Amino acid sequence: MRLKESSSPASAAASPAPRTAAGKAKPAAAQAPVVAIVGATGAVGVELMRCLDVRKFPLRGLKLLASARSAGKTLPFKGEELVVEELAEESFEGVDLALFSAGASVSRQYAPVAVGEGAVVVDNSSAFRMDPAVPLVIPEINAGEIARHKGVIANPNCSAIVAITPLWPVHQRNRIRRLSVATYQAASGGGAAAMDELVQSTRAYIDGRDYEPRVLPHPYAFNLFSHNTAIDPETGYNGEETKVMNETRKIFGDPDMRIGATCVRVPVLRAHSVAVTFECERPIAPAEVRELMRHAPGVRLVDDPERNRFPMPREASGQDDILVGRIRRDLSDPSGRSIALFSAGDQLLKGAALNAVQIAERVLALGPARA
């Protein structure tokens, strides 16, 4: 089974759909796909496996791929130990769906190979996100984009997903014309090694031992710092901030939206938080936003001023939903058009693995293009 014919960038020619003995293409539901996870040993890769399992994603086979460092290791899946293979050009033979989470350079090199073998690629890296030919998808917002894929579908930046998934119902009702985002990003956003660095450096700090940072650029224990991506000298914004701003406009399909972002790494193990302020075209009340959040897909309202209980990364960890609260008027805007709120979301799940599997489920529902 091949899920969709492909022809381009992230895009070589697709293999023909397998034929039955009678020479007819197999019907969409006849065969579950063979899925490959590229970066299976990483923080996102492990969650991809869990999401496939928990969501009962139909599988004919699961191939785990990583670097040479991990070749031969095993990872548990549905009670079995699956062997990790080294990623190579031949890895995608017979693969229908490839979930990439091994960094942008790996995606740039191997996603076209996978597409050339006839697989559909859902890519967690930033490699293809801003390519106009590649859909950039948060299913709660723009699932319809998936159908126009040419072999690759991009998963957005995790901070962007946590920040904007809850805003979509607001934007639909009363266009958000200006958005300001400040992130509080967890160690898990830097991968498994950054999580380990947070734990080890905190332990060293408490024990009074020196700790030389290996993964992140600054001491992490009891500290926070500007996001570890490079600053664009022209704009003064770092790579993460630039992704949040550009990707939001693409996902919302609103190139004129005015957006500013400040992205910060905080000593939280898992789940990103975001302080958001937005200005709508018309006045909007906190109660109206609260009501929209109550019904927003992928969102859970946690907004209890009496108990001072609002979204927290520890409560968001392991949760599919993005938690939203602290919904209040932005008093710096007397026009009544602006709202401030605070969100926390597990960026390994909704910010990466879960979003990718949700996309894959929709790819599957589209069926083989040539059936």
- What does the alpha-carbon distance between residue 305 and residue 166 come to, in Å, rounded to a whole number? 19
317 forms part of the interface with ligand 2RA (CB under 6 A)? no
> Catalytic pick from 149, 171, 227, 272?
272
- Chain positions 108 to 127 lying near ligand NAP, rule: CB under 6 A, are 124-125
What tokens does 96 get?
């229908």
Interface pick for ligand NAP out of 3, 36, 57, 70 (rule CB under 6 A): 70
Residue given tokens 């450096």 in the structure block:
201
158 forms part of the interface with ligand 2RA (CB under 6 A)? yes
155 forms part of the interface with ligand 2RA (CB under 6 A)? no
CB neighbours of residue 203 within 10 Å: 12
Q: How far is the CB of 229 from ligand NAP (least distance, A)?
A: 10
Q: Judged by CB under 6 A, which stretch of 94-102, 182-190, 205-213, 248-256 contacts ligand 2RA?
A: 182-190
- Enumerate long-range contacts of 67-73, CB under 8 Å, 24 or more apart: 67/102, 70/40, 70/41, 73/41
112 forms part of the interface with ligand 2RA (CB under 6 A)? no
241 forms part of the interface with ligand 2RA (CB under 6 A)? no
272 has catalytic annotation:
yes
280 has catalytic annotation:
no
From ligand 2RA, ligand NAP, none, interface partner of 216 (C-beta below 5 to 8 A by class): none
3-state secondary structure of 279: strand
198 forms part of the interface with ligand 2RA (CB under 6 A)? no
Q: Provide CB contacts within 8 A for 241, sequence distance 6+.
A: 227, 261, 262, 263
Q: How far is the CB of 348 from ligand NAP (least distance, A)?
A: 5
From ligand NAP, ligand 2RA, none, interface partner of 185 (C-beta below 5 to 8 A by class): ligand 2RA
Interface pick for ligand 2RA out of 6, 91, 107, 157 (rule CB under 6 A): 157
Whole-Å CA distances, 318 to 20, 73, 233, 345, 352 = 42, 25, 37, 9, 12
> Catalytic pick from 51, 158, 263, 280?
158
Q: Provide CB contacts within 8 A for 100, sequence distance 6+.
A: 38, 39, 106, 107, 110, 111, 114, 121, 122, 123, 124, 125
User: What is the torsion angle, in degrees rounded to the nearest 10, for the CA atoms of residue 153, residue 157, residue 161 and residue 167?
Assistant: -100
**Which spans of this chain sit near ligand 2RA (rule: CB under 6 A)?**
157-159, 185, 189-190, 240
Active site (catalytic) residues: 158, 272
